[in-house]
Chain A
Amino acid sequence: MAESRDDEQLGLRLAAVAVLGFVLTIPPFLARFDRVGQVFGVPVLAAYLFLVWAITIGLIALIGGRSR
């Protein structure tokens, strides 16, 4: 069973998303938002992390969904 070029592309693109997600959720980006405060009523850090998380998931769904 040979790996198709599409599958290889998909794997690499998703890996890039993984790297992006990882980098955004560890210091120093994390430290940048690690402060007391609220945005839309929610703690800043939590809001940031959930936002990054949601974007990551969205990217995965987008990339995964586009490859057929």
Chain B
Amino acid sequence: MLQTWFIVAVSAAYLGLLFAVAHYGDRRADSGRSIINNATVYALSFGVYATSWTYYGSVGWAARAGVGFLPIYLGPTIMLALGWLVLRRIIRISRRHRVTSLADFVSARYGKSTALGALVTIIAVVGVIPYISLQLKAVSLTFATLRRDPGITSAAELSHIPVLEDTGLYAALVLAAFTILFGTRHLDATERHEGMVAAIAFETVVKLAAFLSVGIFVVFWMFRGFGDLFSRAADAGHTTLFTLHGQTGYGSWVWLMVLSMLAIVLLPRQWQIGVVENVDERHLKRVLWMFPLYLLVISAFVLPIAAGGLLRFGPGADADTYVLTLPMAGGQEALALFVFIGGLSAATSMVIVETIALSTMVSNSLVMPLLLRGRSRLARRDNLAGLVLGIRRAAIVLILLLGYGYLRVAGGETALVSIGLVSFAAVAQFAPAILGGLFWKGGTRRGVLVGLVAGFVVWAYTLVLPTFADAGLLSASFLQEGPFGVGLLRPERLFGMPAMDPVSHAMFWSALVNVGGYVVVSLADPPRAAERAQAVQFVGVVEEPFGERRRQVRATVGELQALLERFLGPEGAQRVLRSSPGRRPDSPAAEAPPELVHHAEAQLAGSVGAASARLAVAAVAGEEEIGTEEVMRMIGEASQRVELVRWRLKLLYDATGGIGTTLDVTRTAEELAQVAVPRFADYVAVDLAESVLREEELGPDGTGTGIKRMQRAAVSGIRDDAPLFAVGDRLTFSPSSPQARAVESGVAVLVPRLRESTQWREVDLDPARGSRVIDFGIHSLITAPLSARGVLLGMVHFWRSEKPEPFDQDDLSLAAELATRASVSVDNARRYTREHGLAVALQRRLLPRGLPEQNAVEVASRYLPAQAVGGDWFDVIPLPGARVALVMGDIVGHGLHAAATMGQLRTAVHNFSTPLDLPPDELLSHLDELVTLIDQDAITAGDETTVTGATCLYVVYDSVSGTCVIASAGHPPPALVHPDGRVEFLDVAPCLPLGIGGLPFAATELSLAEGSRLVLFTDGLIERRALDIDVGLRLLRETLARADPSPEGTCDAVLDALLPESRSDDIALLVARTRVLGPGQVAEWDVERDPAAVRRVRAAVSARLMEWELEDLVFPTELICSELITNAVRHATGPIKARLIRDGALTFEVSDHSSTSPHLRYAASTDEGGRGLFLVAQFAERWGTRYTEEGKVIWAEQTTPGTAGG
């Protein structure tokens, strides 16, 4: 004996197991490894068709009427054979139009009518409630039966249970809770529930196993096989088992077939499983035979079990529970419990799917439209998901309670199958609207409204009311005599219809008014534009494009002309006819020769496209049945096509202009990402190889370092929250991903439907990312490599989410074209950036890092390189004797060559100035020779660019005398700002630029007041395309006149006034404010050509040093002084002068008029003289000789305490 608690516990455990399966299914779905993306699982989930009705009710039916139960299973087989025509269309339409329920489908087909959706929902809910009550009844009935084990209970005992003891109520509540947990955990845009489908497939297996166990038990355990069983049944006189005759009329047999054919498609749960949960259209192929096979197997034992039950219990027992009571009677408690679980699984699977499907319809097609229309506040709520889920949960509870209510009121004593057939008849009402809508374009919204309402009313009147009457809610006279005694209106004998069984009777009348209403109203009232558009889309969903076919066209010239006129106008038509080759026909009634037909078609194709032209001609020729509507549609498509081509050209045009506006790699990537959004794709991301971003050179085979690694360079999208990689993320694509395939093959790869791509799921090490992208709504991808000169530079990915249509082959070529254009720009930018970077680095190394310390002038400088690196340079070189050299130069041309030459010249100038200390004109001569030399080398080496034309300005300023010497080699003369603010451009001898050779350079000497500003600049400052040189000079003059006197201030003011917006040439600017050493810093003595003078000068020097408080330097200076003067007195000619300068360092100079240069000698130990300069070199920091116009100066410099360095 089975304890109640044990049955409950096992049932609970089973439900727990079911939930675990669903949870597993959901988890697999979340991680992107769907288990329901499998034809067999899909076929098994179709098993939701087999409910308690099949499980228990069929046997009951068979016990009463033999094979009369079979149409319910034969019908689906026939329908599925038609499934490739019907179901596949529905699936395809649903996917294309994002239809998520039956109500949605009807509404969408007939012009997106809200009213229709609501009506279908109401009919579906009302119609299916009896069916749900059937499941509840089966659960409570079998539970009650099992509890009473081993006693076999009669049906009568099981009715009349108080509500609170009724298992049906608890079953309803538990199932409601279970369904809510299952189906409304979160909202999914596609309304798909992978976990649920997995659980349903599992249940399908469970109930089959349980039912087969009973069947085998009964046939082979209780009896000795089929023969024995049926022989005994025949002997016992149970002839009902053998024939239909007398139990089921052939008419109702056929009606039942039709009903079940429709039910397998139109029941909300079948729609949910078959259409909404379909992952791949191709899975349908397996369902077509596998599901009928399932039905065959599960039906095979129905008749034997019924026979066994009849033999075992006699006709008195409730045949609906034979499946359970037979094992109980056989003492098989475990089997009985298994059977109960099987029945439970049949009931739960039906209830779960049905209520989920209905709740989706209720919330999406009934409640939400009302709420959103009635209270606009709701429409603005941020998160409607909670509301929708709430509505669904409420709908689930309500539907189950309604089912229970129906059971209490009307279903108590009715056989299971009769209840179920009521529901079948209800959903069959959708058939005209849906099947008609699939194949007939003429159906209209009003037609459906009229047909549905009429069919539904008739259904309720002829099928539902009688069940209420049977239950005693209506008086029996209602059935017997008709309402108010009107016999013609008797619900089961409408208009005096001769005796039919209730279902056939109801089906006949409801089908009549439904189909009749639909067709008549649709014909009377032509469809509106919106309906027509939808109709064309729905009906034509699988139409194939017209291929090339050889055909014989028969059309008259007149017809052809009329056709041409419709498309091209009368003149166009005439022109086409005139231009036709071959014989011209005489009259419009004559048959057009084939060449004329082809000519006309070719001309038409030019304006409406080939396919449309062919169709149009075919329509005239009568070869194809084509209405005006199609021709209009074709014209629409053709013009759309033209629009599309124009749109593509525009996009490419914009891309050409919009990509590559700069020579910046990242900016180019951003431009590529932006140009395609939102016109072409909803999201675009550009990845660049890391080596591109790092400006490395790439190997042509793409093996440069970092080539396998990409970095996201730009993302652009219609929204910001797409779960794509962000800019800066590093990514590596797994080898099987579409991205990697694009890289390998070097061509763009199209993934039209991401959801169906298994590789997409493996795009990343984190498979959840792929799913997140799909869940976000991104459904289509094109990924294209960016490569130039055989080098992979990066990738571009185009995604679509909002645009419903996936990318197609045309889009693929457009994307590839975009990628190619962008690649060229990226490559240019990359190469430019790299070269520019090199030149800038070179130039930066060649230019002075900081200006050297010197006291002769106060300087400020600015150097502004152009976009292309140029050859401007400047320098400040301290010279001995408190002098400084200011250099400004300009190499013709730009780029690396200019920068390198600049480096050479700058070094040369340095060498000519510091150790050699050449006067400006002489220095320029040497520089000129050098440039000539460089040029000769270059020409010898076959180099085309030369240095000739380089200019240079060399200024030496002596802060002791306040004089400056300037020499210029073709360089713009410097500006001089007098302390009083006057500005003049110095009149410097204008010599030829460097490298021309031949003419000597002239130096100009002038004396400057203290605080004068020398402004040296290159022509980039004052001369450019938009600025005339005179204007530039005037502007400079005016600016200098009012600029801040400090060099820094002057620089800023000049650049503010003269800096162009875009520089085509470098600009170098050097401002030096002169200082003059005061009497306290310089001392000078004339030296007689007398050895005694040495001592006098030495004394004077030490006295001056004491005065300057440089006691530490007295001894070395005296020594240097004696040596240099002694030398001068001994060797020199002309007057000798000695000078002591304190300017940071301490410099002692001796000048004379001879030009013989002393040089350092390492005297042998026996030498008497020759040690002087050696000593000087020892004590002095630096020493040297320079030549002046009069002669030469020998100088020695020492570091003074307090000044760092020399």
Contacts and interface: CB of A to CB of B under 8 A. Distances in A.
Nearest to A23: B78
A11 B84 contact: yes
Nearest to A26: B254
B468 interface: no
B1031 interface: no
Nearest to B296: A53
Contact of A50 (B71, B253, B296): B296
Nearest to B62: A46
B227 A41 contact: yes
Given A21-B78, A30-B253, A42-B226, A3 B544 contact: yes
A64 B234 contact: no
B85 interface: yes
A67 B231 CA distance: 44
B93 to A, nearest CB: 11
> Chain B interface mostly helix, strand, loop or mixed?
helix
B1205 interface: no
Contacts of A8: 542, 544
Interface in A9-68: 10-12, 14-15, 17-18, 21-22, 25-27, 30-31, 34-38, 40-46, 49-50, 53-54, 56-58, 60-61, 64-65, 67
Contacts of A5: 544
A14 B83 contact: yes
A38 B230 contact: yes
Contacts of A36: 234, 239, 242-243
Contact of A26 (B66, B257, B286, B288): B257
B731 interface: no
A10 B84 contact: yes
A58 B543 CA distance: 28
Contact of A43 (B83, B85, B285, B303): B303
A41 B226 contact: yes
B225 A22 contact: no
A11 B542 CA distance: 11
Chain A interface size range: 35 or more
B84 A49 contact: no
Contact of B67 (A15, A17, A46, A61): A46
A59 to B, nearest CB: 8
A49 B85 contact: no
B84 A35 contact: no
A14 B230 contact: no
B770 to A, nearest CB: 24
B947 interface: no
Given A38-B227, A64-B289, A45 B78 contact: no
Contact of B81 (A26, A30, A60): A60
Nearest to B71: A25
B606 interface: no
B234 A22 contact: no
A41 to B, nearest CB: 3
Contacts of A65: 285
Interface in B1031-1045: none
A56 B292 contact: yes
A8 B547 CA distance: 14
A30 to B, nearest CB: 7
Contact of B77 (A11, A34, A53, A67): A53
B84 A7 contact: yes
B747 interface: no
B1113 interface: no
B242 to A, nearest CB: 4
A43 B78 CA distance: 23
Nearest to B294: A57
B85 A26 contact: no
Contacts of A11: 84-85, 88
Interface residues of B, number: 47
Contacts of A53: 74, 77, 292, 296
Contact of B288 (A4, A14, A21, A45): A14
Interface string B79-101: 11111110010001000000000
A61 B77 contact: no
A29 B260 CA distance: 20
B205 interface: no
A60 B289 contact: yes
Nearest to B95: A1
A11 B77 CA distance: 15
A64 B288 contact: yes
B1080 interface: no
A43 B285 CA distance: 33
A41 B230 contact: yes
A14 B82 contact: yes
B450 to A, nearest CB: 29
A35 B242 CA distance: 7
B960 interface: no
Interface string B227-251: 1111100100001011111000010
Contacts of B225: 41
A14 B85 contact: yes
Given A2-B545, A21-B78, A50-B296, A45 B289 contact: no
A62 to B, nearest CB: 9
B427 interface: no
B296 A43 contact: no
Nearest to B290: A61
Contact of A45 (B83, B244, B286): B244
Nearest to A18: B81
Interface string B55-86: 00000000000110011001001111111110
A60 B80 contact: yes
Nearest to A48: B67
> Interface centre among B84, B88, B234, B285, by most A CB within 10 Å?
B84
Nearest to B284: A64
Contact of B250 (A1, A12, A30, A42): A30
Contacts of A2: 543-545
Contact of A40 (B70, B78, B226): B226
Contacts of B187: none
Contacts of B74: 21, 25, 49, 53
B300 interface: yes
A67 B284 CA distance: 13
Contacts of A44: 242
Nearest to B292: A57
B245 A34 contact: yes
Contacts of B241: 43
A60 to B, nearest CB: 4
B226 A17 contact: no
Contacts of A25: 71, 74, 78, 257
B81 A14 contact: yes
A12 B542 CA distance: 13
A7 B542 contact: yes
B933 interface: no
A45 B242 contact: yes
Contacts of B245: 34-35
Nearest to A56: B77
B227 A54 contact: no
A18 B87 CA distance: 14
A68 to B, nearest CB: 10
B370 interface: no
B293 interface: yes
Contacts of B226: 40-42
Contacts of A67: 285
Interface of B: 66-67, 70-71, 74, 77-85, 88, 92, 225-231, 234, 239, 241-245, 250, 253-254, 257, 285-286, 288-289, 292-293, 296, 300, 303, 542-545
Nearest 6 Cβ contacts at the A-B interface: A41-B227, A18-B81, A61-B289, A3-B544, A3-B542, A11-B84
25 contacts: A3-B544, A7-B542, A14-B85, A14-B288, A18-B81, A18-B82, A21-B81, A25-B74, A25-B78, A34-B243, A34-B244, A35-B242, A36-B234, A40-B226, A41-B225, A41-B229, A43-B243, A46-B67, A46-B303, A50-B296, A58-B289, A60-B289, A61-B293, A64-B285, A64-B288
Given A2-B544, A38-B227, A40-B226, 6 more contacts: A2-B545, A11-B88, A43-B67, A43-B243, A45-B66, A45-B244
